[in-house]
Chain A
Amino acid sequence: MRAFTRGLLGIAGFLVLWELLGRSPLLPADALPPPSVVFGELVTQLTSPEFISHVVATVLALLIAIVIAIAIAVPSGLVLGSIPAVRHATRAVIEFLRPIPSVALIPLALVMLGFGPETKITLAVYAALWPILFNTIYALDELDPLLVDTARVFGTGRLGVLFLVALPSALPFVLTGIRLAATTALIVMVSVELMAGSQIGLGYFIMEARSGPGRMDQVLVGTVVAGAIGVLLNNGLERVRRRWVAW
């Protein structure tokens, strides 16, 4: 409870600072609308079907990207983590691909995939793959050999060991990987919407609000909502982990 109270105090302090900065003569007028204005605009926007459709578009694309990333990264991680030969063979390629920022791939993705939602989903998948892949491989390295021996003694074959022992024992690490991946995917998703591709989504809404009417209050509404999505995803996944993989 104390931690919760402190958290609230921190947020209150942040809002006061923001309010003061927004109203101070140091910044150009309307460059940083204070929270009182932004939250008023937020309430208005939340009842606007157009804004809601932007939010839904981003969230939906994000969820699709996360699911695809899991579907690719977890099986790949299991293969790489349990067959050393494959891991050594792919190491160089992975070491090269991993540090490439997803945003640097936007032009390439636009040419290859066009301006539809495929582009932002693909790039978000690319960014989300790595934390899940590496956490899965790491989890297999940490697999207790005694659990494997136990399963083998009771007549469990290679596949059985993979699905009944390696996978469940990797689950906590995989879930942590997914939580990190979700945050990364959100950043990439909104960035791609901001910069190019896509005629819909939160990033697009922010861009339009700035370049069209120059409504900084709407820009900040978009920013606040993007942040809220990130917090919800993060806490939701953390809660799933605590509820279902509490060991």
Chain B
Amino acid sequence: MSNMLEVADLGHTYGDHEAIGGLTFTVRAGELVCVVGPSGCGKSTLLRTISGLVAPSRGDVSLNGSHLAVVFQDYSRSLFPWLSVQGNVEFPLRSLPRAERRARAAEALEWVGLSGAARKRPWQLSGGMQQRVAIARALAYRPALLLMDEPFASVDAQTRFELEDLLLRVRREHDTTVLVVTHDIDESVYLGDRILVLSGSPARLVADLEVPLPAERDQVTTRTDEGFVALRSKVARLLNVGKPALDVEKWAAAERESLSETVSS
């Protein structure tokens, strides 16, 4: 499999604050890679340097493809309020002929189940729907690489599950390469083919873990799978280096219990 993204010794310093300290990793074509790390460790900075919004202080980013798309964490602020939902999705496609633009926007809105909302304004939609518009816009662009910064952090649990499954479905159907930043350990295991675990500030790579789960995932069965639970504990332990207070295994068992309760009720 060819590499879609190669990041070599990437570092970034704001003033005298070192946000990222020499990261090296690759993302293969068609892969979904999750990045987890403690709050404020430099995850957003990493995405900003990969997307070219910020020039890194050192190191190289090379993308094996023409363009990438970003879904920002603050999705409601990233939608243009003066454009309709359709206008927003068509925004990256301005260079295309009108008919093709229309067709691709309609297609992307169908993927995320928002065909009916094409004429609405973003601010007339719920938070989860706005996030789906942002995802549709990114997908319509057909990026070589899709970057997502804590994409489901500010929606309710139900919507979050739906959006996670939506992401898994569209990326399987369209063979999109995705890099997702999340602070949620469960989410990283549920979504990822691989997980990159970062250390606290400055961000360094602590572990690069394969996720030993089948490609087909299910919110109920996957989350109770042995492999899922084991990996979740491992990631949690890696993120809690030097903080032994938390008994990860016990916490995982409690979580499993509360989940099966939710499911049976």
Contacts and interface: CB of A to CB of B under 8 A. Distances in A.
* A-B interaction: yes
Interface residues of A, number: 18
A146 B72 contact: yes
Contacts of B72: 146, 149-150
Contacts of B67: 155
Nearest to A168: B82
Interface in A112-149: 144, 146-147, 149
Interface string B47-74: 0000111000000000000011110101
Nearest to A171: B82
A247 B78 contact: no
A152 B72 CA distance: 13
Given A149-B72, A153-B69, A155-B67, A245 B82 contact: yes
Prevailing SS type, chain B contact patch: loop
A226 interface: no
A135 to B, nearest CB: 17
Contact of B80 (A149, A152, A168, A245): A168
Contact of B51 (A144, A153, A168, A247): A153
What's the interface size class on B, roughly? 10 to 19
Given A144-B77, A154-B69, A149 B82 contact: no
A247 B81 contact: yes
A169 interface: yes
B80 A165 contact: yes
Given A146-B77, A147-B80, A247-B82, A153 B91 contact: no
B82 A154 contact: no
Contacts of A147: 77-78, 80
Contacts of B74: 146
B31 to A, nearest CB: 21
B92 interface: yes
Contacts of A155: 67, 92
A25 B51 CA distance: 80
B234 interface: no
A150 B52 CA distance: 12
B121 interface: yes
Nearest to B121: A247
B161 interface: no
B190 interface: no
B46 to A, nearest CB: 15
Contacts of B52: 152-153
Contacts of B152: none
A175 B80 CA distance: 18
Interface string B77-121: 110111000000001100000000000000000000000000001
B123 interface: yes
Contacts of A152: 52-53
Nearest to A151: B91
Among A152, A154, A164, max chain B CB count under 10 A is at A154
Contact of A149 (B53, B69, B81, B121): B53
Contact of A154 (B77, B121, B123, B141): B141
A114 B82 CA distance: 45
B135 to A, nearest CB: 13
Interface string B195-224: 000000000000000000000000000000
A30 B68 CA distance: 78
28 contacts: A146-B72, A146-B74, A146-B77, A146-B78, A147-B77, A147-B78, A147-B80, A150-B78, A152-B52, A152-B53, A153-B51, A153-B53, A153-B68, A153-B70, A154-B69, A154-B91, A154-B92, A164-B91, A165-B80, A168-B80, A168-B82, A169-B80, A169-B81, A171-B82, A245-B82, A247-B81, A247-B121, A247-B123
- The 5 A-B residue pairs with the shortest CB-CB distance in the complex, in nearest-first order: A154-B92, A247-B81, A168-B82, A146-B77, A150-B78
